[in-house]
Amino acid sequence: MATKPIGAGVEAGLESIRDGIAQGRFPARVFNDQEIFDIEQQRVFSKAWCFLAHESEIPDRGDYVTRYIANNNLIVARDESGEIHASLNMCRHRGNMMCKSEMGNASHFRCSYHGWVYKNSGELVGVPYMKEGYEGRIDKRDWGLIKVRTQTYAGLVFGTLDPDAPPLDEYLGGFQFYLDLYLKQGNSGSEVHGPPDHWVTETDWKIAAENFSGDGYHTPVAHQFGFNLGYFASSGATHSQGWAASIPGKGHGIGLGHTPGFPPFAGFPEELADEMRRSLSPEQVEVFSQTRTAVGTVFPNLSFLMQPFSIVPGQTGVRFVTMRLYHPIGPGKTEMYSWCLVPKDASDEYKQEAYRAYTLTFAQAGTFEQDDLENWARVTRSAGSTMARNIEFPYVMGMDSVRDPDFPGPGHVVKPYVNDSNFRNLWSRWSDYMTGQV
């Protein structure tokens, strides 16, 4: 993919941002800046593995959803043999959009401009007036939809625009251990509860990605109402307990909040907890059984949160999982996609309960989500000001913390949960991409 030339001053600036991260500093302006946004589109989103869809969104042959990588609209479709393809949603003849809806089912896509027809795998099969008009000058094999490379992990379909990107497994680099907590809830795994919420926010995707990579620090303040009214299963005093785990050199990170005395796998239906004890590795069981909150980000822009919530103050409540994608649409502007994942094997009753807990807390009208977005919108606004261009933020929390030798999971794992080490890892990886090291 062609890269726009970037001035020497900008390159030096990006290098200095990279150096700053190692010392625990990161500039405010990256959270709302046109130049950074443009470079990110080319250097991060054109090279990384980006999340496209959950397999359960397209369970049957012909099912498709339309999604984005950077500003490229893609069709993610299951073909007639059950294989998943991602193709640029653009007719090869004159560029019209093929699928205009968010989701549907079709064996073929027919362009509404001149009528070129493609199979849902992207193969060109029909060209009107082929004989009379083209006189054999078009070989259909040369003019299929532009394909995007895809790979899946435990139901997650990722795509990359970079043909030379390493395999997805290598890209995830061990973070799968932690992702299983969200994706392997029971023998049959997880499924989406329905189509995602999406809404446009005045926030930069990076603020959300950072927060979800394990910001336990904001919870007692930003979500103070939950503590005050007793709807949250920890207190300000115990909230910092737990681990921050990150995969060095990969950018992925997760915060694992832990409440002393919280029963193992609390909030899961009993039979599901039993299944997880058998289907997960002993190391995963050791970590997950004592995890209250798990909030993690897969670099660059896919996040998860698992949390118990009770509408009766003081009770354990029910576990829910939200998965979200931060699709950058401009500097300081993001289209949020938010799904609720439920364990496929759970009872309908539990799925409904978990979904209701999700809507009340982390859907776009959710009581926790509302406050996060209010804060993030203000951060974004501040970051775009002229004075903020020369201001750096401190990323020094837990700078000297060393790996917890007793922790059974992979990566750099430190205590307490309240720690900037995941964020330094995230922005260090981002800087690698931005400076062309990846």
Partner 1 sequence: MASKKPDRDAVLDATDFLHREALALDERRFRDWLDHLTDDIRYIVPLRVTREGQADWEVSPTSRIFDDDKQTLTLRVERLETDFAWAEQPPSRTRHYVTNVVADPGEREGELLVSSNCLIYRSRGDSVEPNLYSIARKDTVRRVDGGLLLARRYAVLDQSVINGHNLSILL
Residues interacting with partner 1, by CB under 8 A? 100-104, 193-203, 222-225, 228-229, 231, 311, 335, 355-356, 359-360, 363-365, 367, 369-371, 373-377
For the record, the structure tokens of 44 come out as 């991060």
Q: How far is the CB of 229 from partner 1 (least distance, A)?
A: 6
Q: How far is the CB of 251 from partner 1 (least distance, A)?
A: 25
How many whole angstroms separate alpha carbon 218 and alpha carbon 419?
Answer: 11
Q: Which residues contact 337 (CB under 8 A, 6 or more apart)?
A: 196, 197, 198, 324, 325, 326, 327
For the record, the structure tokens of 249 come out as 């050199």
Judged by beta carbon, residue 229 or residue 399, the one nearer partner 1 is 229
Phi-psi label, residue 222: left if phi above 0, alpha if psi -120 to 50, beta otherwise: alpha
For the record, the structure tokens of 210 come out as 């950072």
Q: How far is the CB of 320 from partner 1 (least distance, A)?
A: 12
Q: How far is the CB of 203 from partner 1 (least distance, A)?
A: 6
How many whole angstroms separate alpha carbon 19 and alpha carbon 392?
Answer: 13
Q: How far is the CB of 217 from partner 1 (least distance, A)?
A: 16
Judged by beta carbon, residue 228 or residue 437, the one nearer partner 1 is 228
How many whole angstroms separate alpha carbon 10 and alpha carbon 422?
Answer: 26
Q: How far is the CB of 82 from partner 1 (least distance, A)?
A: 22
Judged by beta carbon, residue 113 or residue 134, the one nearer partner 1 is 113
What backbone phi and psi angles, to 5 degrees, belong to 294?
A: -130, 115
Judged by beta carbon, residue 230 or residue 264, the one nearer partner 1 is 230
Task: Determine the Cα angle at 360 with ends 314 and 292, to 5°.
Answer: 50
Judged by beta carbon, residue 193 or residue 292, the one nearer partner 1 is 193
Q: How far is the CB of 161 from partner 1 (least distance, A)?
A: 23
Contact (Cβ atoms closer than 8 angstroms) between residue 159 and residue 52: yes
Q: H or E segment at 289?
A: helix 282-289
How many whole angstroms separate alpha carbon 144 and alpha carbon 118?
Answer: 7
For the record, the structure tokens of 28 come out as 């405010």
Judged by beta carbon, residue 275 or residue 353, the one nearer partner 1 is 353
Distances (CA, A) of 165 to 20, 50, 161, 209, 271: 27, 11, 8, 21, 40
Q: How far is the CB of 310 from partner 1 (least distance, A)?
A: 11
- For residue 312, the 8-state DSSP code is S
For the record, the structure tokens of 120 come out as 């849902």
Judged by beta carbon, residue 365 or residue 396, the one nearer partner 1 is 365
Q: How far is the CB of 373 from partner 1 (least distance, A)?
A: 4
Give the β-pairing of 50-54 and 156-160.
Answer: antiparallel
Q: How many residues does the chain have?
A: 438
Judged by beta carbon, residue 139 or residue 349, the one nearer partner 1 is 349
Sheet-wide strand order for 50-54: 50-54, 156-160, 147-153, 84-88, 72-78, 63-69, 103-105
Judged by beta carbon, residue 130 or residue 229, the one nearer partner 1 is 229
Residue 249 identity: G
Judged by beta carbon, residue 113 or residue 225, the one nearer partner 1 is 225
Q: How far is the CB of 178 from partner 1 (least distance, A)?
A: 26
